[in-house]
C-alpha cells in the first residue's frame, strides 16, 4: 500500500495542524520500520500515536484498522473499529488497489455481502484489466444464487476472463455454478463439453465433468467421464480416486476395491495420491472387522512398492492404533525409526505404543536404544525406569532414575515425576519408609501432582498405613482429575479398607463405567471384593472370574472363585 501519510492532504487550518501532520508522517514511517522488524507491539503503539495526531489521514487509519481487524480475529468491538477505519480509506481512495483488496477480503470475512459486492464492482470498474478483481466480482455476484441477473452478469465477466487468459478449471467451475443457479443444465453441459474440447489431454477436465454429472443425478455419465480421465492419463491418481469414490457411492464394493488396488499398484501414480486414497479407504472400512484382511492386503501392496517410505509405515501404524492394536502399530514405527533414527518423537511414540500394548520389555529395550542417540533427554530415562519396574528389573530402574536425577534439565514437573517413580520403586522393593519419604518430597516439589497423590494414596492403602491420609490424598487427586479411572479405583479401594462398602461400590461402579471395557485384573478383583462385602456374592464371583481370565496364575483369585469368599489370613 502507498504511504499516503507522507503528505498532508488539503489545506491545513492552522500551523498546529500542519505540525501534527508532519509528526504523524514521521511516526508512521517509524512504525513501518518496526513492522518490518516484526516488532509488532512497537508498531501498534506508534500507529495509534500517528492516528491520534492525524485522524483524517485515511492511509494511517487503514493501516491501523487492518492491524486491529487481524489482531481481533475479525470479531468484537476492536474488529468493528478496525473495519470502519479500513472503510474510511476505501471511501476516500478506492483506487488504492491493495488496500481495497484487503477491505474486500475483510468484508467477505464478516459476511457483509453488500459491501463486498460494492468493493469488487468498484475495483473492476477502475481496473478492468485485472483478472483477480474480475473473478472476485464474479464470485460476489454468483453468491446471490437467487438473483438471475447477477448470475448472468457473473457469466459475462467470466467469459471475458476466459478469453483473455485461456481455458481453466477455476473459471469453468465458476461458470458451471452460475448456470446451476439458473437451473440451466443444458448450458452447464455445453460449458463442460467446451472445456474438454479445449483441454484434450487433461484428465482434470473429465474428473470435473464427472463431479458435475454426479451432482445433477446422472451417475452413468459421471462414470464415463471418470473412466475417460483414467484413459487420458493412466497415471492420474485423481481419476482412480474418483472412480473408487463412484463405486463406493453406488455400494459396489467389488468395483471400489478394484479401483483402489489399481491406483495403489500403478508405479506412475505418485505416493502422496496413493496415501490419500488409502487413507480414505481405511477411514471408510476400519471399524468393520471383516474388512481388515482387505485393508492389510492393500498395505502389503503399498509396502512392497515403497518398503522404506516412512509415510507408508506411519499410515499403517495409525491404522493399527485405530483398531486398538498398539503392538502392531509400534512394529510399524520401528520401520520409521530405521528410515529416520534422528527423530526423537518417533522413538517416544514407539515406546508409548509398546507401553500401551503391555510389552514393557520391548518398551524398555527401545528406550535404551533411544538413550544411546539422545543421552541428554531426561524423559527417556524416566520412561526406561518405569518400563524396567514393570518387568521386575529393579536395579536397572534405579540406575535410570539415578542418571536422571543428575540432569541439569530437571524442571519442577520432571523432578516431581522422578521422585514419584522412585517412590513407586521403593514400594515395590518393600522399603515402605523410604517410599513415603520420596512421595512426600515429590509433593513438596509439586503440591498439585495428582499422579503422586494417587500413587501415594494407593501405596498407603495396600500397606494398611495411615488410611485417613490415604483418603485425603486420594480425594485431592480426584478434585484435580475427577474422571481419572486410576484415581477412582484408588478411592474405591481406600473406602473398602475403611469398611465404607457402599461408598466403595459407588466409586468402583463409576470406575468401570468410565473404563469402557478396558479393565485390568487388579480393577476387576477390587470390584469383586467390594461387591462381596456388599452381599452381592454372584456378581463378585463374576468379577473374580473375569480377573482370573486375565491373571491366570493368581492363586488368590482361584481361592475366591472356588470358595465364593474373600480369603482371610
Q: Residue 255: pLDDT band by 50, 70, 90 thresholds?
A: confident
Q: Average pLDDT of the chain?
A: 90
User: Confidence band (pLDDT; 50, 70, 90) for 6?
Assistant: very low
Separation of alpha carbons 356 and 317, rounded Å: 14
Average pLDDT over residues 242-264: 84
**Residues 268-275, mean pLDDT to the nearest whole number:** 81
More confident residue, 288 or 439: 439
Instruction: Let me know: does 89 contact 61? Beta carbons within 8 Å.
Output: yes
**258-270 pLDDT per residue, tens:** 888 877 877 777 7
**d(C-alpha 482, C-alpha 523), whole Å:** 17
Q: What is the pLDDT of residue 568?
A: 53
Percent of the chain residues topping a pLDDT of 70: 96
DSSP symbol at 309: -
Q: Report, as an integer, the average pLDDT of 395-423.
A: 94
Phi, psi (degrees; rounded to nearest 5) at 186:
-65, -40
In tens, the pLDDT along 73-121 reads 888 899 999 999 999 999 999 999 999 999 999 999 999 999 999 999 9
pLDDT above 90 for 322: no
Q: Looking at domain 1-127, which of 3.20.20.80, 3.40.30.10, 3.40.50.720, 1.25.40.10 is its CATH number?
A: 1.25.40.10
Position 235 confidence tier, pLDDT thresholds 50, 70, 90: confident
pLDDT band at residue 14, thresholds of 50, 70 and 90? low
The answer to whether the pTM exceeds 0.75 is no
Cell numbers found for residue 54: 492525524
More confident residue, 328 or 568: 328
φ and ψ at residue 320, rounded to 5 degrees: -65, -35
pLDDT at 11 over 50: no
pLDDT digits (tens, 9 = 90+) for 187-220: 999 999 999 999 998 999 999 999 999 999 999 9
Give the pLDDT of residue 294.
81
What is the predicted pLDDT for the residue at 98? 93
Residues 175 and 127: their CA atoms lie apart, in Å, by 21
Per-residue pLDDT at 10: 42
Question: Residue ranges of the domains in the chain?
Answer: 1-127, 519-569
| pLDDT over 90 at 409, yes or no | no
Q: Which pLDDT belongs to residue 2?
A: 41
DSSP-assigned letter for residue 6: G
Q: Of residues 30 and 330, which shows the higher confidence score? A: 330
Quote the DSSP letter at residue 557.
Answer: H
Chain segment 54-66, per-residue pLDDT in tens:
888 899 899 999 9
The residue among 375 and 26 whose pLDDT is bigger is 375
The percent of residues above 90 in pLDDT, for the chain, comes to 69
Mean pLDDT, rounded, for 486-507: 96
CA distance 410 to 259: 54
Q: Is the pLDDT of residue 7 over 50?
A: no
User: What gap in Å lies between CA 202 and CA 187, rounded to an integer?
Assistant: 21
d(CA 28, CA 26): 5
Cβ neighbour number for residue 38 with a 10 Å cutoff: 7
Q: Is 86 exposed, middle or buried (0-12, 13-18, 19+ CB in 10 A)?
A: buried
Q: What is the pLDDT of residue 171?
A: 93
Alpha-carbon gap, residue 170 to 190, rounded angstroms: 16
Please give the Cα distance from 348 to 345 (Å, whole number).
5
The pLDDT tens digits of the residues spanning 354-408 come to 999 999 999 999 999 999 999 999 999 999 999 999 999 999 999 999 999 999 8
Assign 94 to helix, strand or coil. coil
Amino acid at each position: 500500500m502507498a504511504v499516503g501519510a507522507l503528505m498532508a492532504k488539503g489545506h491545513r487550518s492552522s500551523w498546529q495542524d500542519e505540525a501534527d501532520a508532519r509528526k504523524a508522517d514521521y511516526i508512521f514511517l517509524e512504525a513501518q520500520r518496526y513492522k518490518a522488524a516484526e516488532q509488532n507491539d512497537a508498531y501498534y503503539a506508534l500507529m495509534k500515536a500517528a492516528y491520534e495526531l492525524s485522524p483524517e489521514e485515511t492511509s494511517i487509519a487503514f493501516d491501523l484498522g487492518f492491524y486491529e481487524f487481524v489482531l481481533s480475529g475479525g470479531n468484537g468491538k476492536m474488529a468493528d473499529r478496525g473495519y470502519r477505519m479500513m472503510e474510511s480509506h476505501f471511501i476516500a481512495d478506492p483506487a488504492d488497489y491493495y488496500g481495497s483488496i484487503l477491505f474486500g477480503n475483510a468484508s467477505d470475512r464478516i459476511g457483509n455481502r453488500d459491501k463486498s459486492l460494492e468493493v469488487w464492482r468498484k475495483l473492476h470498474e477502475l481496473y478492468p484489466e485485472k483478472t483477480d478483481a474480475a473473478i472476485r466480482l464474479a464470485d460476489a455476484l454468483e453468491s446471490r444464487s437467487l438473483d438471475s441477473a447477477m448470475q448472468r452478469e457473473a457469466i459475462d465477466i467470466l467469459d471475458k476472463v476466459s478469453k483473455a487468459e485461456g481455458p481453466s478449471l477455476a473459471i469453468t467451475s465458476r461458470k458451471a455454478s452460475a448456470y446451476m443457479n439458473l437451473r440451466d443444465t443444458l448450458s452447464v453441459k455445453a460449458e463442460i463439453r467446451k472445456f474438454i474440447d479445449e483441454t484434450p489431454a487433461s484428465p482434470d477436465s473429465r474428473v470435473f465433468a464427472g463431479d458435475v454429472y454426479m451432482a445433477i443425478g446422472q451417475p452413468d455419465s459421471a462414470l464415463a467421464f471418470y473412466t475417460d480421465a483414467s484413459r487420458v492419463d493412466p497415471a492420474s491418481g485423481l481419476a482412480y480416486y474418483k472412480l473408487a469414490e463412484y463405486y463406493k457411492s453406488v455400494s459396489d464394493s467389488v468395483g471400489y476395491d478394484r479401483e483402489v488396488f489399481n491406483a495403489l499398484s500403478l508405479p506412475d501414480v505418485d505416493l502422496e495420491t496413493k496415501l490419500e486414497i488409502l487413507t480414505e479407504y481405511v477411514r471408510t472400512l476400519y471399524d468393520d472387522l471383516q474388512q481388515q484382511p482387505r485393508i492389510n492386503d492393500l498395505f502389503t501392496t503399498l509396502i512392497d512398492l515403497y518398503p522404506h517410505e516412512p509415510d507408508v509405515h506411519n499410515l499403517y501404524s495409525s491404522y493399527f492404533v485405530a483398531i486398538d492394536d498398539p503392538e502392531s502399530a509400534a512394529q510399524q514405527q520401528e520401520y520409521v525409526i530405521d528410515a529416520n533414527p534422528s527423530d526423537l518423537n518417533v522413538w517416544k511414540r514407539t515406546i508409548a505404543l509398546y507401553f500401551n500394548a503391555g510389552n514393557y520389555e520391548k518398551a524398555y529395550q527401545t528406550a535404551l536404544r533411544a538413550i544411546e542417540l539422545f543421552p541428554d533427554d531426561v524423559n527417556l530415562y524416566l520412561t526406561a525406569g518405569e518400563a524396567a519396574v514393570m518387568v521386575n528389573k529393579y536395579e536397572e530402574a534405579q540406575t535410570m532414575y539415578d542418571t536422571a536425577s543428575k540432569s541439569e534439565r530437571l524442571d519442577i514437573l520432571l523432578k516431581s515425576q522422578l521422585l514419584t517413580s522412585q517412590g513407586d520403586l521403593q514400594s515395590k522393593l518393600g522399603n515402605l519408609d523410604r517410599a513415603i519419604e520420596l512421595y512426600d518430597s515429590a509433593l513438596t516439589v509439586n503440591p498439585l501432582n495428582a499422579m503422586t497423590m494417587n500413587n501415594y494414596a494407593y501405596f498407603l492403602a495396600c500397606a494398611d498405613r495411615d488410611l485417613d491420609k490415604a483418603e485425603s490424598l486420594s480425594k485431592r487427586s480426584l478434585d484435580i482429575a475427577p474422571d481419572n479411572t486410576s484415581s477412582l479405583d484408588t478411592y474405591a479401594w481406600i473406602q473398602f479398607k475403611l469398611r465404607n462398602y457402599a461408598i466403595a461400590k459407588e466409586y468402583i461402579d463409576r470406575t468401570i463405567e468410565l473404563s469402557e471395557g478396558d479393565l485390568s485384573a487388579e480393577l476387576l478383583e477390587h470390584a469383586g471384593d467390594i461387591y462381596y462385602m456388599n452381599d452381592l456374592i454372584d456378581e463378585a464371583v463374576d468379577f473374580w472370574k473375569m480377573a482370573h481370565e486375565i491373571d491366570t496364575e493368581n492363586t488368590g483369585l482361584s481361592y475366591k472363585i472356588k470358595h465364593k469368599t474373600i480369603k482371610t489370613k
